[in-house]
Amino acid sequence: MARLKLGVLISGRGSNMAALIGATAEPGFPAEIVLVIANRADAGGLETAREAGIATAVIDHKAFSGREPFEAAMDAALEAAGVELVCLAGFMRLLTAGFVERRVGRMINIHPSLLPAFKGLHVQRQALAAGVRIAGCTVHFVTPDMDSGPILVQAAVPVLPGDDEDSLAARILKAEHRCYPHAVRLIAEGRVRLEGDLARIDASSDSTEMLISPLSGE
């Protein structure tokens, strides 16, 4: 069976990209990364991808007159590589509705909160200010509305006494590195069905297909 072809978009070190690289290197994983695109030439994740033998491209948003021509260049690169699923991994550019709508059901993102709670930036600050006891991350399909779209997989982590933004973010990041490859596997295995605003998972036995919870405080 052919492996699902992934394109990963990054802006920085790409730690979630690295988690996907590790997962796709495992025997039997049903997806492969065929292209990594960065909008910054100094994105640290580019070297990680190159060391793994993955094709890379730098498409600098500053070199274009607006978002549409920038996205047209990304479109062309993704199509040329035969990308079937786009994975956003710390890609720090807002995408137009047109770019997103061309990839309905074919583009996913990971966000460091249990959506729909705490959208946008400074997520850990929001969670600490709200006094929540459980935080986490969410893999979701991308829609034109920021940090929205059908939820695929979530992972929960405890908020510990004495946590600050950095310690909570580090704990959530560990969960992200488990969550993202798991979500990609579900899609690549054909076990995800979109029904309106919901993603239905053909679970094998229990809810652990959709929820990794709660992780330890380590």
Q: Reading across the β-sheet that carries 151-158, which strands appear in turn?
A: 56-58, 31-38, 4-10, 85-88, 107-111, 134-141, 151-158, 211-212
- Interval 190-204: pLDDT, tens: 999 999 999 999 876
Secondary structure of residue 58 in the 3-state scheme = strand
Q: Which residues contact 36 (CB under 8 A, 6 or more apart)?
A: 7, 8, 9, 10, 14, 17, 45, 46, 49, 54, 55, 56, 57
Place of tokens 């690295």: 18
Interstrand relation of 192-195 and 198-201 (parallel, antiparallel or unpaired): antiparallel
Residue 214 pLDDT level (bands cut at 50, 70, 90) = low
Q: Do 72 and 156 belong together in one domain?
A: no
Q: Which of 69, 103, 137 lies at the terminal end of a domain, its last residue? A: 103
Q: Do 118 and 198 belong together in one domain?
A: yes
**Are residues 70 and 64 in contact, defined by beta-carbon separation less than 8 angstroms?**
yes
200 — phi, psi (to 5°)?
-95, 130
**Active-site annotation holder among 111, 140, 177, 182:** 111
- Average predicted confidence (pLDDT) for the chain: 94
Residue 111 annotated among the catalytic residues of the structure: yes
CATH number of domain containing 124: 3.40.50.170
Q: Do 177 and 137 belong together in one domain?
A: yes
Predicted local distance difference test score (pLDDT) of residue 1: 75
Using CA atoms, how far residue 128 sits from 162, 203, 217, in Å, is 10, 33, 16
Q: Do 167 and 183 belong together in one domain?
A: yes
Quick check: 145 pLDDT over 60? yes
Predicted local distance difference test score (pLDDT) of residue 12: 97
Q: Which of 48, 82, 103 lies at the terminal end of a domain, its last residue? A: 103
Q: What is the mean pLDDT of residues 102-107?
A: 96
Please state the domain count of the chain: 2
Predicted local distance difference test score (pLDDT) of residue 146: 92
- Say if pTM beats, i.e. exceeds, 0.75: yes
Q: Do 64 and 128 belong together in one domain?
A: no
- Interval 56-67: pLDDT, tens: 999 999 999 999
Q: Do 169 and 194 belong together in one domain?
A: yes
Structural domain that includes position 1: 1-103
Quick check: 141 pLDDT over 90? yes
Quote the percentage of the chain above a pLDDT of 90: 92
- Interval 176-191: pLDDT, tens: 999 999 999 999 999 9
- Interval 12-48: pLDDT, tens: 999 999 999 999 999 999 999 999 999 999 999 999 9
Q: Do 40 and 92 belong together in one domain?
A: yes
Q: Do 182 and 152 belong together in one domain?
A: yes
159 or 207, which is more confident: 159
Q: Which of 80, 103, 126 lies at the terminal end of a domain, its last residue? A: 103
Q: Do 82 and 22 belong together in one domain?
A: yes
